[in-house]
Structure 1
Amino acid sequence: MGIYVGQSIAGESGEGKGRAGGGMGPISHPSTGLDRFHQNIRRAGMGFRTILVHVDTGPSAPKRLKLSADLAARFEAHLVGLYVRRPFQAPAFTDAGPAMDSLYRTYESAVQADEAAAMAAFGTTGPLKAWRVADGPAEQVVAAHARYADLVIVGQAEPDAAAEATPPDLAEAVAMAGERPTLIVPHIGAAKPPGRTVMLCWNGTREAARAATGALPFLKKADKVVILLVDPEDEPGGAGVHVAAWLARHGVTAVVKRDTAGGADIGEIILSRAADQDADLIVMGLYGHSRMREWVMGGASRTLLASMTVPLLVAH
């Protein structure tokens, strides 16, 4: 993909000067969501050692950066800030020559100013902080760098399109790439640090299993974990109990809540139940598909991405 990392600060060993650089035995019922948990147990069991946060100059960036720093401190993780330089786009009517040169100089000056502002906001002091700069489409660049992290933090789309410093669908594109668990921070920020009261949305799918497994470090540190099932298809006491038992083996005590949609938007139900439980983090699978290079999200996913009031940890 030709990603070039322009800078690396605060010691990313093994990556060079600025360049980005087990089996569990047979599964008896690979179609069940619980079995999918065990495929990723070892990957999630050690916690977050590297956290990647996307840095831009949008109005919500400072809140996202503060949350990222708080989480890195809580998990004693290496925090990597990634700034993606927006590509130069010349107007179609502009001919090559002095006019094009002038446009490019203006672009380069603006990008350098944005980069400097982003780096200053992130801060680069400290033994567990590193800074990366890359060129390319933001969705592809962040997804590629996610492969070298345990958790990726991005922001919800800004409500004011004019203030958007990155593509408005960056969060869902990175999450749908499925490289690592993705924590999406609301543009309003978080009223309190996420992960003390966690709502885990469960429907037995692969996406839900990946999200739950990716959230294990949060779940292990949580004071309260609620497993929410909306219109569960299994018999009473089925999947919810199995998930709670799996979590218990990791030292996580969880309560199971079952609800019915009754024709209502499931995303709205999730947000309502999260408010009832005073949840500060929602964990769920993300559903959608690509159409003409744009992501078409499922109903609940679309609702939460648009209306989230607390951070959302998702996986595809």
Structure 2
Amino acid sequence: MRAAIFRNGEIVVDRIAEPKPGPGQVLVRTLACGICGSDLHARQHAHRMVEMSKFLPGRTPMDLSRDVVFGHEFCCEVLDYGPNTTRKLKPGTKVCSLPALLTPQGIEGIGYSNDNVGGYAEAMLLSEALLLEVPNGLAPEHAALTEPLAVGVHAVAMANIQGGEVPLVIGCGPVGLAVIAALKIRGLGPIVAADYSPARRQLAEKMGADVVVDPARTLPYATWAEHAQMSEAEKAARPPFRAMLPALKPAIIFECVGIPGLLQQVFEGAPRDARIIVVGVCMEADRSEPMLGIMKELSVQYVLGYTPEEFASSLRLIAEGQVDAAAMVTAEVGIDGVAKAFADLANPEMHTKILVEPWR
């Protein structure tokens, strides 16, 4: 079968053996698979990913001398079953799954593995126990957005929202847009979102942002403060010491960019007592000033992935029309177009989310 392969630091197209389902596994045909920002970072910083994996016991790092097939945001079609399966879903059923395989050795990831083929291939293996049938006749290209939406849902869940916070989302790529959608569902607002790209600011509004900011023209934190002013009743209810501080509602800041220097910018701009949720995956060494965090009593929460329940909930949100995740999709390509798509995604005015459809 054909696949777009990460080989020697580049994305190349070649043929590989079609996988055979083992016990508890299902052979599926890949219908649509999103190109994730983490895939773009992984291509550039794969050695860093391997280096960091030594701090994660039980995780097998990629062997960069061998082929890897990326792709962990997918919707597939059931083709065949391996032994020890219930075969509950008939062939042809559209399914999504967490990008993981359940094996006797434990949970193994899909997408950054030498052994488990990801969604940039014509076929792949999934664990039957993790399959979710795509509901409501949802199109595969929309169901494939379950995974990135789940990242935003999880980030908001981990933010420990108490009520009354005013959120600020830094970066309106797919992750930031997913966070905005999840905040909107929770009824939190006004949602302030910042991005240099006019196209992405427009998408942010479509996904639920109440206020959008161009950081080249306006400091996001100043705009946030304008929309976080306490009411007179809230001011009066503050204890005496707190009354000496700026009369601002609690801040919850989502860092959804993942490049060096960004977290330090957040430390500098954040108001006192802000909660910072780091969603963007920075794969390079970075620095921040602890003194700023101490003086402002900032709380920093790093997040990754999602729970199985959040993943299933995200699929339902898309299928029921509560989240217009399809608005993020700006192009579809076949396997031959993956390398160019990686380059095109560097321009935020050109693309936000490109889907790989291996059958093209």
TM-score by length of 2: 0.24
More helix by share: 1
TM-score by length of 1: 0.26
